[in-house]
Amino acid sequence: MDIATLTARLRQSFSEEQIIPSAPMSRYTTLRLGGPADVLVMPHTQDQVRDALLMAKECGVPVTILGNGSNVLVRDGGIRGMVLLIADGFAAVSDPVPTDGGRYLLTAQGGAALTKLSNAAANASLKGLEFAAGIPGTVGGAAFMNAGAYGGEMKDVVTQVTVCDRDGTIHTYSNEEMAFGYRRSLLTRQANPGVVTSMTVALEKGDEGEIRAAMRDFNARRRQKQPITLPSCGSTFKRPEGYFAGTLIDQCGLKGHRVGGASVSTLHAGFLVNDRQGTAADYLALMADVQRIVYEKTGVTLEPEVRIIGEDLPANLI
């Protein structure tokens, strides 16, 4: 792995503002914790995505793909290799394009916030994305894990997803080819998934007032029931079949349960929060406590929904 050579090559094709050596991952995840990445790169075009991936491959440097960091836990030792941050600089949303079937297509680049896409739909009086109004992720992340809320999922509206593979090849997948399921897709099943560079959704005309009212309602519910003012990764655990993770955790008396700077939210037990400047080790230990106690009391195994990446601190630094 040759980080120095990769960084030098990146500087020939990217601006200084797009390259951050030793990037503290606490700045790039909603949990606000995690150690540094060797180098972080923020591409602004699909060509730059491909170039960065190819440079990393040629230098033998592993690549971690990140969007808004809203469903990610980075361990305290940080991330070795290059982090490719698909975010604000790669976030355009198209104007609506009518189809023969009466629906309208919107295409968003992978780094666009899901809230930006849902607002663009509302501005055009297009319905179908109201559920996404408050999901704190990017289009790429939403396509990757089939994000959803309040009865809606990306699989309901996506028509195609464009992906740049690690070898620089561009693929366009249909809804069927994406094989969406609960918090999974074709990409989650791949050992080294590529970068979602764009996603197209098909929506129907609606009443803007009704669309906005639904978005306000969903956002109000989030504010009332979720600890949105505290650093978290959203729902920490997947929904077990036949149960709700938050309900199980609550029934086990775990609201407020704490390990170091991390605790189970007293507002919604499905959210584990970093409310006292905790470490990734705190958060992982809290997750383990919750999983153990819930299993002991209910026999249900909770599986993480949060994506855990990076490496632990060396023992001599703990």
Active site amino acids: 183, 235, 305
Query: Is there a contact between 297 and 243 (Cβ–Cβ < 8 Å)?
Result: no
Residue for token pair 């970093």: 274
User: How far, in Å, CA of 80 to CA of 296, rounded?
Assistant: 36
Structure token digits, residue 71: 């469903």
The strand order across the sheet containing 271-274 reads 232-235, 271-274, 262-264, 258-259
Q: Which residue has the tokens 């500087």?
A: 11
Look at the block and give the residue holding tokens 């607002």.
119
Three-class DSSP category at 186:
coil
Asked if 76 and 281 count as a contact pair (C-beta separation under 8 A), the reply is yes
Rounded to whole angstroms, the Cα distance separating 285 from 299 reads: 20
The strand order across the sheet containing 36-41 reads: 19-24, 36-41, 79-85, 63-66
Give the residue from 88, 69, 97 showing the smallest Cα distance to 200. 97
CB 154 within 8 A of CB 180: yes
